[in-house]
Amino acid sequence: MFDELSEKLEATFARLRGRGVLTEADIKEGLREVRRVLLEADVNFALTREFLERVEKKAVEVTRLKTVSPGQQLVKVVYDELAAMLGERREGLKLSSVPPTVIMMVGLQGSGKTTTAAKLALKLKGEGRQTRLIAADVYRPAAIDQLETLGKQLDVPVYSDRTTQDVVKIAKAGLDQSRRERDRVLIVDTAGRLQIDDEMMQELERLKAAIKPDEILLVADGMTGQEAVKIAQGFDARLNVTGVILTKMDGDARGGAALSIYGVTKKPIKYIGVGEKPDALEEFHPERMAGRILQQGDIVSLVEKAQGAFDADEAKRMEKKVRKEGMDLEDFLTAMKQMERMGPIEGLLKMLPGVNAKALKQVREADPDGKRMKHAEAIVLSMTKAERKNPGLMNGGRRARVAKGSGRPVSEVNRLLDQFKQMQQMMKKVAKGGRPPMMPFR
């Protein structure tokens, strides 16, 4: 997400920062490059023009400042305007004071509506809100089965009725049940449709009138660029959409949809889908995303991920044990599993300030299929309990046995044990109050 855009913007700003003094001509030249980069990312043309006009006006004032680096100040101007283009500030769900809060999911077929509805239900459930799903997609084959399967996997109740294709009747019955069960949130999964299909849009209008949703969320494919903006405009004209969820933002998305949708429609992006896992749905924070695009990092989101993934009691137990007895491969395995819950390493690195495309490329090359942590886990699990407790036992024969049991080459087993030895040394130094050495990514 935004990798190419981020890399090109950084290259442009690096050239400008390299100049001690910026003239108006320098700024115009730099912004011409920014314009090209944004249009290549499929950002709306009119929006790009307005964005650059605002940046140029503020940037010219920056050139007159003597106390601050003009190059750095220009980046700050672009950051502020990017955040404004993305929505200025986080806008959460509007939760009703009288439960249940009703959320209606709409969008094109294939945009990921059903899986996104389930992801949102899981997220709200994790926040302590009893949530129910309604299967109101009566047209797509197996859509009801899909939602029921997802509900079962996530332990979220699903209301469905296969005896009728009247979506209004289904939704009203589901709402009645939700009220009886005292749910906090009710999410209605509707069938995918084109915004220009008048008959199908009328059905959504009848559904809206019947259940009076607190939120109407458009689920749009982030890979579609400006097309997502046209879709949003079409649905908004008929339904007055309250927010957007962009899906598939972990793929080869150029960023045009995310950078255009709020500026054109003034409808906030509330969440983004960043993977296939049930928990791969992130709250959208415009200012944090602007920071990621300009390679300034997103430490707040990184800390939030860590807090959600790490078990505080387990961390304290491990810290106490490591200080007293040292670290073994059982502890290493526990730490790996907690890291895995935070998501792919590449996604975490993107949240660190200064991590550029070159560094991310090295990570991809070191772990091209994203399974390195799984492979390490397989190696450790192929060891006996005694070997995990005392890695010093791992002679050549044992290493060959573990390689065979885990399906990994002996060289990979050796590399893991070498890295573990380095980590042990680092942990000993930390336990004594010393400064940990830097560990290379190998």
What tokens does 303 get?
Answer: 């800390």
- Cα(433)–Cα(250) distance, integer angstroms: 39
What tokens appear for 4 in the block? Answer: 């190419």
Task: Establish if 356 belongs to a structural domain.
Answer: yes
pLDDT in tens, 149-171: 999 999 999 999 999 999 999 99
For residues 107-130, give the mean pLDDT. Answer: 94
Examine the domain organization and report whether 117 and 71 are in the same domain. no
The helix (run of H) or strand (run of E) holding residue 276 is: none
Q: Encoding tokens for residue 250?
A: 């972990």
- Counting the structural domains of the chain, the total is 3
Q: Which helix (H) or strand (E) holds 288?
A: helix 286-293
338: enclosing H helix or E strand: helix 329-341
**Is the residue at 206 inside a domain?**
yes
Q: Could you give the CA distance from residue 203 to residue 139 in angstroms, rounded to a whole number?
A: 12
Is 292 inside any structural domain? no
Least confident of 42-56, 328-342, 360-374: 360-374
Is the domain of 165 the same as that of 275?
Answer: yes
Going by C-beta distance under 8 Å and a sequence separation of 6 or more, which residues neighbour residue 294?
A: 6, 9, 10, 13, 75, 78, 79, 82
Q: With the CA atoms of 74, 76, 80 and 83 taken in that order, what torsion angle do they form, in degrees rounded to the nearest 10?
A: 110
Q: Could you report the per-residue pLDDT of 288-318, keeping only the tens digit for each?
A: 888 878 776 545 555 555 555 556 666 666 6
pLDDT of residue 296: 66
Residue 91 lies in a domain: no
Question: Is residue 188 left, alpha or beta, with left meaning phi > 0 and alpha meaning psi from -120 to 50?
Answer: beta
Shared-domain flag, residues 274 and 345: no
CA-nearest of 348, 344, 263 to 303 is: 348
pLDDT of residue 442: 40
Do 14 and 133 lie in a common domain?
no
Tell me, yes or no, whether 137 and 256 share the same domain.
Answer: yes
Tokens of 427: 């942990």
Q: Final residue of a domain: which of 86, 114, 136?
A: 86
Q: Where are the alpha helices (DSSP H) in 137-285?
A: 143-154, 167-180, 198-211, 226-239, 256-265
Q: What angle do CA 22, 26, 28 make, to 5 degrees?
A: 130
Domain boundary among 284, 315, 341: 284
Q: Is the same domain home to 175 and 264? A: yes
What local confidence, expressed as pLDDT, does residue 398 receive?
94
Band of residue 367 on the pLDDT scale cut at 50, 70, 90: low
Q: Which domain CATH number covers 335?
A: 1.10.260.30
Chosen domain end from 86, 118, 141: 86
Q: How, if at all, do strands 281-283 and 269-273 pair?
A: antiparallel
Look at strands 243-247 and 215-221 and give their pairing. parallel
Q: Looking at the structure, tell me whether residues 36 and 174 fall in a common domain.
A: no
Same domain, 219 and 134: yes
217-259 pLDDT, tens digit per residue, is: 999 988 887 888 889 999 999 999 999 999 988 766 567 888 8
**Same domain as 217, residue 68:** no
Q: Is residue 441 part of a domain?
A: no
Select the more confidently predicted residue: 320 or 246: 246
Same domain flag for 381 and 356: yes
Instruction: List the alpha helices (DSSP H) in 3-135.
Output: 3-17, 24-40, 45-62, 70-86, 113-126
Q: Are 277 and 370 in the same domain?
A: no
Q: What is the pLDDT of residues 4-18, one digit of tens each?
A: 778 888 888 777 776
Q: Is 96 inside any structural domain?
A: no
What was the pLDDT predicted at 78? Answer: 86
pLDDT higher for 240 or 323? 240
Cβ burial, residue 66 (10 Å; 0-12/13-18/19+): exposed
Domain with 137 in it: 101-284
Does residue 442 sit within a domain? Answer: no
Give CA separation, 234 vs 103, 195, 310, 360, 369, in Å.
19, 5, 42, 37, 38
> To the nearest whole number, what is the mean pLDDT of the chain?
82
Evaluate whether residue 21 is within a structural domain.
yes
Of 328 and 107, the one with more pLDDT? 107
26, 145: one domain: no
**CATH number, residue 25:** 1.20.120.140
Q: Which among 132, 140, 134 has a CA at the least distance from the CA of 108?
A: 140
